[in-house]
Amino acid sequence: MDAKAKKILMNAFWSSGGWRAGGFFCSDEDFEYAKCKGLMYDAMSLSHDECVQKLCELHKQKITKEKVVRAFLHSLSTRKVYLRSALSSFALTHDLPLHAFAQRPAIHISYCACGNCNDRKLMAKEHYVDEDLNVFNFERIKWGGVRLNWLIYCLLDLELLSKEEELEVKAEDRAILKQMIKTIEDCKEKDAARQLEKRWKDIFPSNQHERDRVMEIWGYAGLLQSQNDYRKERGRGTDFMSMATWRGEDGYSAEKLEFYFGEYL
């Protein structure tokens, strides 16, 4: 990743005080430089149907489960957080059928009006007009992604991963993975996501926001799955989405763990 282009993208949205006051700011010259390095983009307009078609093509031609798993594991010791959310993007879209937005309307809308996307916890619009992909990539590089279950984010995320070279999984990454699993097993029955985040604190290089993102990625991937969605949210409430009602008693899905990480355990 080009260091100058990354700095331009970060500075466009973030300052020493947090989110930049007044929103996005970037000179034309800096924008063109970051764009030529593949880190910033022109506003994009496309339909939901085009987005789904592109995702189906990515899964058929370029993206495999093995690629996203290696990317996630490689990120643990290297702290390349932008490689992590491809795991949830893959999980949410790999079995998404080619379909039109209005083909099967959602009966009970939880995420969007498209039934196929709604069933898979995907947030989708029928039409994307002048969509700003730069903020998605900023969040991806800074924290590991935020709008993880947005259909258009999944598309951007997997397109960017498809351009990455093959990544090595080291013994250190395997050891971190095993420690992460052990700490889930050690959780008390009523522990919520915040308690798990704190248990992960010394296991891999990260800050709280990055650990939160990893939990959300594992939640959307089905590795950490609440067995009772009607529990009252705890901790910081709506800061958690897929992990809002998870508790220690839910543990992890042994089936999903084997599916994604079996060869590394």
Helix, strand, coil percentages, rounded to 5, for the chain: 50, 5, 40
- The pLDDT tens digits for 156-182 are 999 999 999 989 999 999 999 999 999
pLDDT above 60 (res 135): yes
Mean pLDDT in residue range 77-103:
97
- The pLDDT tens digits for 190-230 are 999 999 999 999 999 999 999 999 999 999 999 999 987 77
Tell me the domain boundaries of the chain: 44-162, 171-264
Strand stretches in 87-187, DSSP E: 127-131
